[in-house]
Structure 1
Amino acid sequence: MIYKIFPAVLFLLFSFSTSKPNSSEPKNSKSATHAEVITSGKLMASSIDTKVEMVYSSLHSDKFALPKLESFAVALKGYYSLKEKGLIKKDILTLVDFSLSSNTKRLWVIDLTTGNVLFHSLVAHGRNTGEEFANNFSNAAESFKSSLGFYATGEIYNGKHGTSLRLDGLEKGVNDNARARGVVMHAADYVSNSFIKNNHRLGRSQGCPAVPTELSKEIISVIKDKSCFFIYHPSRVSNFGAKSIS
């Protein structure tokens, strides 16, 4: 008799152990949303590189081309570090890739909460940093050169170029003189396709990451007040991101 009952008992036990949880059960309130995971960097991933690739693959690129993975990786790692230290507040990342020709769009503004690429734009480098390509950088006043590295965006003010945005360099000896030097984001009419057509290269600034006049106010409004701003070049190691890839 027992041998007849025993298979039925096993069947019942197996059914209970494999049954699906009740869909009406409340979800764990401590579980992170996708946006929280992306912006905090607290992914259950085997490495920071896996994390970066996951975020990169989630970017929305229907309207704009994506930045290169190597520059984005350094930027995102630095963003996580700065966010953890409380040096930046917003989930907005601005990436300027100075490994690229100034005749191409090499500035991206990315909303890390949604994965949306908000802007993809031309951006100038300093007049003593190079001609078409940026290759010489400085933190010194009156150098008329661009400074690399991570910045926190500051406040908006109205200057000689109109609406402008102050930048605070976060890397000692690399860009920490930015505010004193007056290195800011501002509009410039020499940052345009027409200037490139007439001069075979983009116009250059005195060290500021100048952007097209028609986009400047929109970009500045989005990235102001403690968002992460990063100028990449493969020639140096950042204090916050991983080593740049040459």
Structure 2
Amino acid sequence: MDRRSFTRNALTGLGLALFQPLAARAAMAAVTPPAFAHMPWSGLLDRAKAALDQHQGQFELRDRIAIADFTQASKDMRFHIVDLVSGQSHSYLVAHGRGSDPAHSGWLQRFSNEPNSLASCAGAFKTGEIYDGQHGAAMRLHGLDAQNSNAESRAIVIHGADYVGENQIAAWGKLGRSEGCFALAPHMLPQVLGMLGPGRMLYADKMPSALTQSA
């Protein structure tokens, strides 16, 4: 798929996402469906909902959120888009930053908000505009917490990358690493950008028992 078609598909999906029924878009107190209680990322979902309430003034759209569960290995589907209204979720592969996994073990070892750390950062992000950048279509992210306040200056975004995909896992047992961005499989990026769109929350974290170091 060429870049123009890629971006057009992403924006088409975005248009569909933005024109949701008014009731869904204005759901300011969405209740988590019981089906999510048994998901391995349910603990992070609770944290994400608390963050959504904490930053409620930032979000007009509370119907759908994304969760990056860095408790899991990079070979696992650990990027989840959760529809709090319908009770549906969609899961994807996502890479973490090389500064978060210097030995390239396939597991995120630490977060960092520091410039030039090449690490992933944790916390709540607000999705921003879709633009055509170094990696093709990408989505800007605005960090809302102290631990990700440098996200914009570090150019932490959602983008596609060839080192993310089932072929990488088959060959190496893990994904490649980003420079701190949320890198997804290129063929899945239009769907993800379309379902998120600007103005929703992405929450990234790792459960405390699994976090070995944070900076």
TM tier relative to shorter chain: 0.7 to 0.9
Aligned counterparts, 1:21-36, within 5 A: none
Structure 1 residue 68 displacement after superposition: 2.4
Q: Determine if contact 1:153/1:224 at 8 Å carries over to the other structure.
A: yes
Q: Determine if contact 1:102/1:122 at 8 Å carries over to the other structure.
A: yes
Q: Determine if contact 2:33/2:84 at 8 Å carries over to the other structure.
A: no
Query: Structure 1 vs Structure 2: percent identity of aligned residues?
Result: 30
Aligned counterparts, 1:61-210, within 5 A: 66-83=39-56, 86-90=57-61, 91-117=63-89, 119-130=90-101, 131=104, 132-172=106-146, 174-210=147-183
Q: 3-state DSSP class of the match of 2:75? A: coil
Amino acid at match of 2:184: V
Structure 1 residue 189 displacement after superposition: 1.1
Amino acid at match of 2:118: F
Point out the more displaced range, 65-74 or 203-212: 65-74
Q: Determine if contact 1:67/1:108 at 8 Å carries over to the other structure.
A: no
Structure 1 residue 67 displacement after superposition: 4.2
* CA deviation profile, 1:104-145 (whole Å, cap 9, x unmatched): 00011012222221x210000001111311011111111100
Q: Determine if contact 2:51/2:124 at 8 Å carries over to the other structure.
A: yes
Distance 1:210 1:68 in 2: 19
Q: Determine if contact 1:126/1:145 at 8 Å carries over to the other structure.
A: yes
Q: Are 2:28 and 1:57 equivalent residues in the alignment? A: no
Q: Determine if contact 1:106/1:122 at 8 Å carries over to the other structure.
A: yes
Gaps of 5+ in 2: 1-22, 210-215
Distance 2:118 2:124 in 1: 19
In the superposition, the TM-score normalised over structure 2's length comes to 0.78
Distance 1:76 1:98 in 2: 17
Distance 2:33 2:123 in 1: 20
Q: Determine if contact 2:96/2:178 at 8 Å carries over to the other structure.
A: yes
Which structure has more relative contact order (CA 8 Å, sep 6+)? It is: 2
Whichever structure has more strand as a proportion of its residues is 2
Amino acid at match of 2:123: G
Cα RMSD for the two superposed structures = 2.2
Alignment partner, residue 41 of structure 1? 29
Q: Determine if contact 1:141/1:181 at 8 Å carries over to the other structure.
A: yes
